Every structure is written in structure tokens, then in C-alpha cells.
Amino acid sequence: MNLSAIIHRSNSEFCYALDKDRVAVTIKTGKEVDHVFIIHEDPFINQLRRKPDWFGKRSEMQKYMELDRYILWRIVISPPYKRLQYYFEIQSGNESYMLYESKLVTPDRIRETSRQYFKFPWLNPSDIITPPEWVQNTIWYQIMPDRFARGSNFKNDGKFKEWADMISPHWKDLYGGNLKGITEKLPYLKKLGIGGIYMTPIFYSPSNHKYDTIDYRCIDPDFGTEDDMKELVQQAHQCGIRIMIDAVFNHCGADFFAWQDVRKNGNNSPYYDWFFINSDDFRNDSYSTEDGRFFSFSFWAGMPKMNTNHPEVIRYFTNLCSYWAKEWDIDGIRFDVGDEISHTFVRELHRKLKTIKSDIFLLGEIWNDSLGWVTTKEYDSVMNYPFCGCVNDFFANEQLNTKELMYMLNYCHSIYPEQVTKVLFNFLDTHDTQRAIDNCKNEDVLLQKLTFLLTMPGTPCIYYATEIAMHGKETMYNRQCMPWSKIENGDYEDMIGKVSQIISLRNKYSELSDNDVRFVIHEDSPRLIDYIRSEKIHVCLNAGGHPCAVEPTGKVLYSNLYKNNILNTDGILICENC
């Protein structure tokens, strides 16, 4: 038995409360293990029964998920007295080991030394991770306001480029998209099947992307007014669409009032400690902060880093978010560079906002394993970049097989509690990556990737214009203007129609929002992606180099390049009732 592969830790992703009555327990072992049992009971059961030693019930755990080198075993236990103490018995052939918190031993050595059991102390309701339920049933649509749509109130004062003119683009180019434009396109988004809009920053800033904020209290005049924002939220809600805005609290723009005061008054400024200043000559005009004179986002001097540990900074931004929730009735906030903001700040913000609007969605932009931010009442979810990476890697690299895709995906799902996995923010592309179509050899492959996105656990997000297969490899080109004249002329009718069909299935079948995914591996067709969702929806995607024989297991819900039980290369088949 591979003893080094056996891993468990209580009060972690391996042991957590599902709800007020149930605890989920998982253990990781090598693939050679045949059986795992958990011995569990209340930690004080021996005192209740007047026994000298603690004892427990023996329950067999089930294989839950397969990774590249491991098996995850799982059981859900309902402790009647809200407490749980336990240890494991692990069997492989004739070998058997007992795993305690303090040691891993063979049965004959159990009584040689004292034993430290694993323990889940108490099911405290206020500690249970409870993301808003509506999120798992929401399909998001990411919008960069400057590039999405000009509203009927648009007036060109000479600083905006012609719409859709991407010849020799520049970082400072402005196109005049605004909040009114988004409001007027709500019917398009509703018809597409969108349930939530995530907007990149909308506050006053000198750039087109607005990630260098000057004034967090003022909507950028290029985008409109506070009344325009309130109208957008109100109209969106009437369409059944939620609104999430982008909060850039890790850093500010160079013209933010507090930073300007610090530059003027140095350490005499009341805002001096709002930033991380390390040198008296911090005012020099070098664009880089590699010299360490002060800390900034990605070494850009124009984006000084905020000290989110400081009580006044915490109060300032918490009051801002409270205002947005109360006065604008927004449904979510996405936190830019969410892993560099202090845990102290996010915990306080979470506490305050949930008292104002209990189902507000708090999303952190974190590109890696983010367990520490979602299990401590901070973010409800994070942007699932590992998911994006595993999907794009599989479709770009034809040497990878479906089993490897399953391993990568299972890893993404194994590192978080079940309720967090349901609301992980999944996507294929964003304003920070190349567009999804540029990883694909054709639009049929893009449809396969969108199908995968929309039929996996998590809350899926489509970057604006991905539904028309817009190209854009480099950063400036992945932010092109939405080509409304061509859309309204019907140039993209076929692609939009296919994407809408797949979206409609996600909206119709609640099973696609659950976490239950069972892959079927075909050794003779190693790139046939075949999986069943909650025993009701069967999805087949042929990402291989030859056609595959695939029989529908029930009613065909959607098909592409499928005929006479043959799923062609780049084909899709979705069926109901497996």
C-alpha cells in the first residue's frame, strides 16, 4: 500500500459541514486501495455509555472521484448530537491500516501508544458555507462597457473612435459604449438566455478598462450617471437578469484623492498609511516600482497598492459597497486581484454586506487554489481559472485523452466544499485572456467547449461576443467592439442560434446545476468526451480525429454533426433520460 498517498485533515476540504445537519468526510488514497471504512461517533459516547474507551460505528466509504494518482473516498454523516469523532480503516489486499490524526498504524499496533482521533467539534450554523442559491442557476455574461453598446443618449464630443474601428488599436482608445447601451440591449441578452451581467469597472478613471480608479463614488461620465446605473439594475431585474459590478480595492489610480494627498504632503498626509510607502523619494516619476519605493499592482506606479489592513481603508470601501447594495440594489461584487486584499477586510465586508442583502454574491478574482478565501466567510466563490485552463489545454492538445481531462476536472472539483463547487465561476475566456475561438480550429470546436462549460457544475460565464465567435488573441484585440450592425443584419444568426439552444438546456434542466458528473471512458475512442449528469442528461463530444459510433440513450435535446448513430469529428450529442 502506498502510505504516502493517504491524506486527510479535519476541518478542511476533507471534512466540512454541508448544512446544519450533515458533515461530508473525504479521504485521499492511492489507487491500489480496495476499501475504506470510517469509525465514527460522538466524541463523548463512551462517557454517556460509561465505557472506559471511546468506540464508534463502522461505515464503508464510497469511491467518490478519481484523480491522476489518487482516489477520493467520501461519506456524508448526520451526527445526531452535532459533534463527530472518527478514524479510518484502509484495506488493500491483505494489508490493513488505521489512520488517526496522530499516526497511521497496522491493527496489531493500535494499543501501543495513545491515539489522537480526528474531530469535527460542532455544527455551528453560522459557520456553514452558504453561497446564494440563485447563483448556481445563473448564466453570466461579461461586458466591458466601453466596447459593448452605445446607448441612444450617446454624443460624440470628438474623443471617441468610430465604432468597431480596430485598425492600429491603442491602450487609450475610447469607443463610447455606456450603461444606457447595456440597458437597451437587455432584450438581446434575455433572448440569448442570460441570467446575470458581470460588468468590468464602471467608476471614474482615465483608461478604457477603468481598473485604475480615480473616484469610487462617481460613475465614469463616459458611461453615464448614477441614475443610468439604477435604471440598468431596475430594467435588468424586470428581465430576470442579475447585475454584478467590479470592485478594484487592491489598488487605485494615480489621481485617487488619497494618493494625491500623500504625494503632496508626504508622511504628514492623513492618508499616508492607506498605502505601502517604503522610501522618502517615493514621488519620483518612474513608471515602474521595481525599486520598491512603494508597492503597486504589477510594478505599475500608476496603480499604487491600497493597504486593506488599515481600519480607515476597510471602513471607506465597506461603506462604498454598502451604498451600492442599498441604493443600487446590485446582486454581486467581483473583487479584482482578490487574493492580495487582506482577509481581515474581506471578512468584515462579507459580514456587513450580508446583513444588508443576505443573498448578495461576493466573487474573488483568484487564479489558483483559493480554499482559504471561501471557507472562512469571505468570498462566496472565485473565478475558476483552473477549469478554464484544463478545458483549453484539452481542446488545444490532441495528445491528451478524455481520462486526462477527467483527472484535471476532478481536481478542480475536489479542492472545494460541495456547495462552493456549485457556484465556482467557470468561463472559457475573459478580458485578460485570448478569446475562446482562438484556441479552436473551427466554430464547431467552440460549440463543444461552450457545451462543456454549460453542462458542468459551477456558474458559467460567457465573455461578450463569444456567442458570435469573435476573435482576439492579444489583449487589445480581445476587447473589440460588439458588431451590432452585423448582428442585426443576421450575419451571426446561425452561431447565436446554436449557442442559445445550448444555453436553453442549462436553463431548463436543473440537473445541470448539480455536482454529479460521471464520465464514461472509451479506450477505443480516447478523445470521445462522454459523461452523464445526475443520471438524466447524457453528453457526448467527439474531440477525436475520427467519427465515433454513439447511440442516443433517450430523447435528443441537441445535436451537431450527428447522423445515423455516428458522431462526426467536432460533433455534439446531448440526450435526456440515460
Choice among 70-79, 99-108, 294-303 with the minimum mean pLDDT: 99-108
- The set of residues, in sequence order, having a beta carbon less than 8 Å from that of 535 and lying 6+ positions away, is 516, 578
Quick one: pLDDT at residue 165? Answer: 79
Average pLDDT over residues 248-277: 98
User: How open is the CA angle 481-484-485, to the nearest 5 degrees?
Assistant: 120
Order of all β-strands in the sheet with 23-29: 15-17, 23-29, 71-77, 62-66
All structural domains of the chain, each given as residue ranges with its CATH number in brackets, are 3-127 (2.60.40.10), 140-250+306-483 (3.20.20.80), 251-305 (3.90.400.10)
Place of cell 471578512: 347
Quick one: pLDDT at residue 261? Answer: 98
3-state secondary structure 494-560: HHHHHHHHHHHHHHHCHHHHCCCEEECCCCCCCCEEEEEECCCEEEEEECCCCCEECCCCCEEEEEE
Quick one: pLDDT at residue 110? Answer: 77
Confidence tier at 157 by pLDDT (50, 70, 90): confident
Quick one: pLDDT at residue 113? Answer: 65
Place of cell 489610480: 253
Euclidean distance between CA atoms 354 and 130, whole angstroms: 11
Active-site residues, by number, are 336, 365
Give pLDDT tens digits for 458-512.
Answer: 999 999 999 999 999 877 789 999 999 999 999 999 999 999 999 999 999 999 9
Residues in the chain: 578
Quick one: pLDDT at residue 476? Answer: 79
- Please list, residue by residue across 452-485, b when 16 or more beta carbons sit within 10 angstroms of its beta carbon and e when fewer do: bbbbbbbbbbbbbbbbbbbebeeeeebbbbbbbe
Euclidean distance between CA atoms 183 and 445, whole angstroms: 32
Greatest alpha-carbon pair distance for the chain in Å reads: 86
Helix H or strand E segment including 105 = strand 104-105
Quick one: pLDDT at residue 236? Answer: 98
Euclidean distance between CA atoms 177 and 465, whole angstroms: 14
Euclidean distance between CA atoms 123 and 477, whole angstroms: 50
In 186-225, alpha helices (H): 186-192
Average pLDDT over residues 87-110: 93
Quick one: pLDDT at residue 376? Answer: 87
Average pLDDT over residues 255-273: 97
Which residues, listed in sequence order, are joined to residue 251 by a DSSP beta bridge?
305
Quick one: pLDDT at residue 91? Answer: 98
Q: Which of 360, 367, 368, 362 is nearest to 381 (CA)?
A: 362
Question: Long-range pairs for 100-108 at CB < 8 Å and ≥24 separation?
Answer: 101/10, 104/3, 104/6
Angle between helices 443-454 and 385-396 (to 10 degrees): 140
Average pLDDT over residues 337-349: 97
- The set of residues, in sequence order, having a beta carbon less than 8 Å from that of 174 and lying 6+ positions away, is 146, 159, 160, 161, 208, 222
Average pLDDT over residues 521-541: 95
Average pLDDT over residues 406-419: 95
Whether 99 and 90 have beta carbons less than 8 Å apart is answered as yes
Give pLDDT tens digits for 395-404.
Answer: 999 999 999 9
Confidence tier at 388 by pLDDT (50, 70, 90): very high
Place of cell 436553453: 504
Quick one: pLDDT at residue 112? Answer: 66
Position 189 pLDDT exceeds 70: yes
Confidence tier at 62 by pLDDT (50, 70, 90): very high
Quick one: pLDDT at residue 578? Answer: 60
